[in-house]
A and B are shown apart, each in its own frame.
Chain A
Amino acid sequence: MNRASITRERSVALLIAGLLLFNPPLLLVFAGDSSLFGAPLSFLYLFAAWAGVILLVAVIARRSAPPGEADPQSRQQAANDPGQSGG
């Protein structure tokens, strides 16, 4: 487990989460008429979810490894054994 694969996993996870959050069917849960604080729920939900995803991307980015490169140890490994997938 190195930083690169962690970053990759987190990115993919967030991507999937975003896809789910932003689209039906999950979207339709919040699509009704109800309002919250005077604003329509769907409106609030979408923007809140959106802001949340943005925040998570920022966090992942801050803690990310340099793109595409494995950590020094695993890069050595990758160099010695090209069959292994790099970071």
Chain B
Amino acid sequence: MLQSWVILLVSLGYLGLLFAIAYYGDKRADARRSLINNPYIYTLSIAVYATSWTFYGSVGRAASSGLDFLPIYLGPTLTFVAWWFLLTKIIRITKANRITSIADFIASRYGKSTMLGGLVTVIAVVGITPYIALQLKAVSTSLTVLMQYPSVVMPSAMVDAPVIPDTALMVAMAMAVFAILFGTRHIDASEHHEGMVAAIAFESIVKLIAFLAVGLFVTFTLHDGFGDLFRKAAQDPELTKLFTVGADGSYGQWITLTVLSMAAIICLPRQFHVAAVENVDEGHLKKAAWLFPLYLLLINIFVLPIALGGLLYFSNGSVDADTFVLTLPMAEQREGLALLAFIGGLSAATGMVIVAAIALSTMVCNDLVMPVLLRLTWLRLTERGDLTGLLLAVRRGSIILILLMAYGYFHFIGESYTLVTIGLLSFAAVAQFAPAMIGGIFWKGATAAGAFVGLCAGFVVWVYTLLLPSFALSGWLPVSFIEEGPFGIALLKPYALFGLAGFDYLSHSLFWSMLANIGAYAGLSLVRRQSALERVQATRFVDVFRLTGASGESAFWRGSATVKDLRDLLARFVGKRRTDRALSAYAGARGLNFGKQREADSELVNFAERLLAGVIGSASARVMVGSVAKGEVVGMEEVLAILHETSEVIEYSHRVEQKSRELEIATTELRAANDRLKELDRLKDDFLSTISHELRTPLTSIRSFSEILFDRPELDDDQRAEFLGIIIRESERLTRLIDQILDLARMEAGHMDWRMADIDPRATIEEAVAASRGLFAENPTRLDIDLPDELPVVHVDRDRLMQVIVNLISNAVKFCDRPDGWVRLTAEVRPAFIQITVADNGPGVPEEAREVIFERFRQVRETLTQKPHGTGLGLAICRQIIDFFGGRIWVESDTSGGARFSFTIPTSVRMAMAEGAE
């Protein structure tokens, strides 16, 4: 049943499931409902530490050297004991500085040095390639073995062997595709890959269950429990050796392994990534501190039993111990369990490869390639619009390249080694990071120069004492290199440098590499001085707890940048949408408005730099932000001095501003007043000019006719009478006009002598009517009066009231010269006033003139040629009078088509209230 296609189908299905989980995890992350924000998933993601080395390799090592597979797991346990003061600090620093990888961490600490970042990246890539190779080996071997079911045959013993290299290549490419899909679908400013973390956590569960299943099977099915198994094993002296430690004096390596793994759990790029970069909440460490060691404990309980079981079962030694986890179920025809075991191993391997590939590609892109590209000014990258495409391409390319390199290592070198041996090489490589890292977070005095030289030295020693010999042992270098040293120089024997013999190759290498590393690091740091930036960064790292917690730290940035520049810069690397999101969140949290604010303050510059660092690494981010903002980091004292100076200047300019503002206001007011005066002046001019004209016109007639009469005595009596009549009339007209003008002028100036009294309006109206009778003498127009019997008392000037009524009546008569013309005067009583109306059936007043006629000298013109009657001042005076009385005067259209002039006079308040009370 366990045919090849079934195996492949299940494998692909499982990988598909992983991808689905990752996809779902990313979706939840985008929706801000993070799937991974709990300590259990965090712990399980850290458990990516257990790779196929743990799954297959531990058993293999246990089968040959007993318990010394264990220190690799004891070391991390001890490192996690130090979670409180070590791991938390690392995570806090990572968060505060938006660090995206271990290269970034080290580069950032030592003054954002791109050189260091690049060096760490190179070491990491070289060091981890063997580790990835070992995963490829494990998967391809286990696949090949499983496919031989039901026979249990080792790949090396297979006749038609060449399947393996191709399998490994295909596996490598498949994993490359996966890594690309998981980790480089887009550029995230925070370098969080929540989907990937979810998938890794799931894998950790699967591999634990698989391993425990096989362990339980071997211990309790193939045997009758631990006791039975160990008793059986004890019967073989070879096997009893495995129970112990250091029986043959090999305990030296134990300590080395412990120390190496203590470093590896944080220095391995993939571990740094899941533990620090992907960490969502610092508080998760509390649980992870003991949960993760517990996981390691659980997954290791059955290692020795399986190894013993396998050795007992395959006593002829035809089966590699590395494969016991798989071959034991296979041999017992347990298809399901074998498949489960295979999937478990696949899980362990893919987890490692994906995370490592992503972590390494991030480092290669941010700390190796981009800095170089940015320095090549002829590429003009700083001017390019959108760089996200380039970043993604570089990352994807590096993933493929790394996997090809791993495949290459596996193909040319890896076959001759056990899995664990290969892995230990990597551990020793990444351990070189430990001094720079640990020293960096506790020792402010550590310099970039020290770190750089230390790393170089340690790496060189590592290459010489471990990597090259591995080439020699695989046949790529002459074996004499190891046995006699290069060119026969015994002192330089890679396994016994300077005559230090008697140590296992690993301890030996660790000793010399650490000596060189730490020696150079400490030595140079003590001797050389730091640059200002290094000092700032050192403080930032070492004092991170003091500086962070509530909000970010404030850097001391004396520079100038505009919000727009920063926005554009960010958009190029992070994409416009994410930039807008980040900036509005930033602005929102601080109540700022970037639409109005043009200059970016230091906090914003920092924020932008950190954001950018999340994408391209802090060193490159520094370069880019520096290209946008002009300025440099200065020291605290300088800042204080500047602040002081600035505050004085600000104070002064505030005062100046105040003064000039007041001045401006005064000027504006003056100008307005001036304009008003000019306007009034103009109006006065117009008024005077009009008056002058109005007065001179009757005078002209008077004078002319007077002179004519004087000069021409021969005029006949009729003419004489006519002319004299004109003179008299015009004189009257003139007098009237003068009176009106004076009245109006006095009323407007407030110099009018009003004689106010309580009068009976009815009596006054009747008197006014009587006075107007004269107008109707020659006129066919009839006058109707309609008054209520009682009109309430009003408080007015009696003569003026009469003047208004007479004026209205005379206007009505003047304009109403129809044969059947009438003028009607009515009065009405309203709650607070009386209303008097004079209506006629004359031509009426057109709507546009209704307000205008109350103005001075304005009259309605009946026809173009006919000169209007009167002075044009009558209604203006009426309005003044009625206004003074507190009433209103206006004109409407009468139903007859004529004009309807009405005015109101407020009634005496006392009377109104008395009446209302009745």
Contacts and interface: CB of A to CB of B under 8 A. Distances in A.
Interface in B251-296: 251, 254-255, 258, 282, 285-287, 289-290, 293-294
Nearest to A64: B84
A81 interface: no
Most buried by A among B83, B243, B289, B301: B243
B84 A53 contact: no
Given A22-B78, A54-B294, A57-B293, A28 B246 contact: yes
A43 B67 contact: yes
B231 A38 contact: yes
B81 interface: yes
A76 interface: no
B89 interface: yes
B230 interface: yes
Interface in A13-53: 14-15, 18-19, 22-24, 27-28, 31-33, 35, 37-40, 42-43, 46-47, 50-51, 53
Nearest to B252: A24
A46 B296 CA distance: 13
Contact of A42 (B244, B258, B549): B244
Given A28-B246, A57-B290, A38 B67 contact: no
Interface stretch (B69-77, B349-357, B378-386, B781-789): B69-77
A84 to B, nearest CB: 11
Nearest to A78: B546
Contacts of A72: none
A30 B658 CA distance: 86
A67 B240 contact: no
B287 A61 contact: yes
A53 B290 CA distance: 9
Contact of A67 (B226, B282, B294, B304): B282
B255 to A, nearest CB: 5
B745 interface: no
Q: How large is the interface on A (under 10, 10 to 19, 20 to 34, 35 or more residues)?
A: 35 or more
Contact of A23 (B67, B80, B85, B255): B255
B84 A54 contact: no
Given A40-B230, A67-B92, A69-B549, A54 B77 contact: yes
Given A23-B255, A38-B226, A38-B231, A57 B80 contact: yes
B247 A54 contact: no
A31 B662 CA distance: 93
B83 A50 contact: no
A67 B84 CA distance: 6
A22 B71 contact: yes
Nearest to A87: B545
A40 B545 contact: no
B595 interface: no
A69 B546 CA distance: 7
A87 B544 CA distance: 12
B683 interface: no
B88 interface: yes
B119 interface: no
Contacts of A50: 74, 77, 293, 297
A11 interface: yes
B78 A18 contact: yes
B234 interface: yes
Contacts of B230: 35, 38-40, 43
B227 interface: yes
B222 to A, nearest CB: 16
A15 B84 CA distance: 11
Contacts of B82: 11-12, 15
A22 B282 CA distance: 28
B254 A24 contact: yes
Nearest to A4: B84
A27 B254 contact: yes
Given A27-B245, A53-B293, A68-B544, A33 B85 contact: no
A61 B301 contact: no
Contacts of B254: 23-24, 27
B227 to A, nearest CB: 3
B289 A57 contact: yes
Interface residues of B, number: 46
A32 B81 CA distance: 28
Contacts of A64: 84, 286
A63 to B, nearest CB: 10
Contacts of B85: 8, 11-12, 67-68
A7 B86 CA distance: 12
Contact of A39 (B74, B78, B227, B545): B227
Most buried by A among B84, B89, B240: B84
A72 to B, nearest CB: 12
Interface string B527-570: 00000000000000000111001000000000000000000000
Interface string B220-253: 0000001110110010000010011111000100
Most buried by A among B81, B240, B245, B246: B81
A4 to B, nearest CB: 9
A47 B88 CA distance: 27
Given A57-B289, A61-B287, A23 B227 contact: no
Contacts of A8: 84-85
A23 B83 contact: no
Contacts of B549: 69
Nearest to B245: A31
A9 B544 CA distance: 20
B246 A24 contact: yes
Most buried by A among B74, B88, B230: B74
A82 to B, nearest CB: 8
A42 B289 CA distance: 25
Nearest to B295: A54
Interface in A67-87: 67-69, 78, 86-87
Contact of B245 (A12, A42, A62): A42
Given A22-B74, A53-B293, A11 B81 contact: yes
Given A46-B70, A51-B297, A54-B294, A68 B78 contact: no
A86 B545 contact: yes
Nearest to B544: A68
Contacts of B227: 37-39
Nearest to B549: A69
14 contacts: A11-B82, A14-B81, A18-B78, A22-B74, A24-B255, A28-B246, A31-B244, A35-B243, A38-B230, A42-B245, A53-B78, A61-B84, A69-B549, A87-B545
Interface of B: 67, 70-71, 74, 77-78, 80-85, 88-89, 92, 226-228, 230-231, 234, 240, 243-247, 251, 254-255, 258, 282, 285-287, 289-290, 293-294, 297, 301, 304, 544-546, 549
Given A47-B301, A68-B92, 14 more contacts: A12-B85, A22-B77, A24-B245, A24-B254, A27-B251, A28-B251, A31-B244, A35-B230, A43-B67, A46-B70, A58-B289, A62-B286, A68-B88, A68-B545
